[in-house]
Amino acid sequence: MAVSKHSDLVFDVGMHRGEDTDFYLKKGFRVIGIEANPALCEECAERFASEIQANQLTIVNSAVAEIDGEIDFYLNPGRSVWGTADPAWVERNEKQGQQSIKTRVVARPFSSLIQQYGVPYYLKIDIEGFDHLCLSGLIGFDHIPEHVSVESSATDQADTMYQLSLMHDLGYKRFKLVPQHDVNKQRCPRPAREGNEIDYSFPNGSSGLFGEEAPGDWMSYDAIRSEYEKIYRQVALVGPHTGRFRNIQNRYVRGVLNRLFWRGLGWYDTHASI
């Protein structure tokens, strides 16, 4: 399907409070911010009023789903970033003591967003359980984003491997594994390798640098699959949700386990490039 590709455009899917949108705007990109929660869209509309007026930012108040229309969406008052349309994620959140409130929101397939706004240079995806719908929504288009990042599952290895297989099948050949728990330590490189040269302090919960500025070395598809296999072996031992030893209270034993299996304690984004 022929849709134009825009070198100055970023899709922020899962805009939340604009933690990432703010960075992309300062980098000089136009941004399509996609967010299911109406209250967060209103918050961002107020925060970025001048950028909206200048046509640098467009906010789309919609969930990404397989259908056009409305779907159930679960707001999470305690942790707004955990808002999700996936009932399995609701169950996970409740096990962590975070109750959800069910509401109805507008939804649309990701392919329709591509048809309306074009193919972005960079696609950031973080929508708590439905991330794969953005990747599968790229199938059939003549072009794909130069760079994409997607949050990997904290507990489900099969889900992450499915994301990787979708990216590989789409034509992505280079991959990076970026620890999200260290994003606030990232610093913008000089000279810039993406967009404007700026100084920026990344808040907790943001996705951080992207594209050629993302930290770490590019690796092959097989290599990143192998890296994730190692991580999930450690998640099975010390992961905060399902780890075999997650409930050990002895501080000394806990410290030893954390030092030995530290990769299983955090969460990660997968970055991919063509």
Give 238-258 pLDDT, tens digit per residue: 666 676 776 767 776 567 656
pLDDT of amino acid 271:
98
Give 80-103 pLDDT, tens digit per residue: 676 677 777 666 666 666 677 788
Tokens linked to 105: 């929101």
Residues near 164 by beta carbon (within 8 Å), at least 6 away in sequence: 175, 221, 224, 225, 228, 270
Tokens linked to 191: 């000279």
**Under DSSP, is residue 46 helix (H, G, I), strand (E, B) or coil?**
helix
Q: What is the mean pLDDT of residues 128-134?
A: 89
Give 36-81 pLDDT, tens digit per residue: 999 999 999 999 999 999 999 999 999 999 989 998 887 777 666 7
Buried b (16+ CB within 10 A) or exposed e, 58-73: ebbbbbbbeeeeebeb
pLDDT of amino acid 70:
92
Quick one: CA torsion of 243, 248, 253, 255, rounded to 10 degrees? Answer: 70
Give CA–CA dist 76/66, Å, rounded: 22
For residue 265, how far is the Cα from the chain centroid? 18
Cis check for the bond before 191: say yes or no (omega within 30 of 0).
yes
pTM of the predicted model as reported, rounded to 2 decimal places: 0.90
**Do 180 and 210 contact (CB within 8 A), yes or no?**
no
For residue 193, how far is the Cα from the chain centroid? 21
Question: Counting Cβ atoms within 10 Å, is residue 265 exposed (0-12), middle (13-18) or buried (19+)?
Answer: middle
What is the DSSP pairing of strand 147-151 with strand 101-108? unpaired
- Residue 177, strand partner residues: 270
Give CA–CA dist 175/183, Å, rounded: 17
Asked whether residue 264 carries a pLDDT value surpassing 60, the answer given is no
pLDDT of amino acid 94:
66
